[in-house]
């Protein structure tokens, strides 16, 4: 009898855990299935649910953000993860500081070529859609 390897634990992180990281977590979880366990968090999680515009864009793309509750990132969450994906460089810098020099968790930007996922907060519906499409297109590189 063969046992499958444990799921890869992925943590997605943005500023508020309101737009980018909840959507990225949903995409990774849906596409990765049983091979991944995904959570999301923010540096400052002050809202009660996912941003309504991001939830609407997610629904159009076939993803469900209902039930998302923002979570503040912690050292424990970072250590839980095998891989921490930051939505932009400023978030990544803060994660390194929070994790401390002894952390063995792999942390990197979500997009390749050291590109930031632009924060759509306070912008138009088109910017939310663009952000979501970037996140969806970048997901495969993080899945086993």
User: Is 14 part of the annotated catalytic residue set?
Assistant: yes
Q: CB-hemisphere CA count at 13 Å for 111?
A: 18
- What is the SS3 assignment for 68? coil
User: Is 69 part of the annotated catalytic residue set?
Assistant: no
Residue 21's nearest CA partner among 89, 98, 85, 76 is 85
Residue 79: which residues within 8 A CB-CB, separation 6 or more?
A: 99, 103, 105
Helix 125-138 and helix 20-32: axis angle, to 10°? 40
Which of these is catalytic: 14, 19, 26, 88? 14
Which of these is catalytic: 19, 20, 39, 88? 20
User: Is 115 part of the annotated catalytic residue set?
Assistant: no
Phi then psi for 13, rounded to 5 degrees? -135, 135
Which of these is catalytic: 19, 39, 88, 119? 119
Active-site positions read 14, 20, 119
């Amino acid at each position: 009898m063969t046992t499958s390897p444990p799921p890869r634990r992925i943590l997605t992180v943005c500023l508020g855990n309101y737009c980018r990281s909840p959507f990225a977590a949903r995409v990774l979880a849906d596409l990765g299935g049983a091979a991944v366990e995904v959570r999301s968090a923010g540096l400052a999680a002050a809202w009660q649910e996912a941003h309504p515009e991001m939830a609407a864009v997610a629904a159009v793309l076939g993803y469900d953000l209902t039930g998302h509750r923002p979570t503040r990132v912690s050292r424990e969450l970072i250590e839980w993860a095998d891989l921490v994906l930051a939505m932009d460089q400023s978030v990544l810098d803060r994660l390194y500081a929070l994790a401390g020099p002894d952390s063995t968790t792999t942390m990197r930007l979500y997009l390749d070529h050291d590109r930031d996922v632009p924060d759509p907060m306070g912008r138009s519906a088109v910017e939310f859609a663009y952000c979501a499409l970037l996140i969806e297109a970048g997901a495969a590189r993080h899945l086993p």
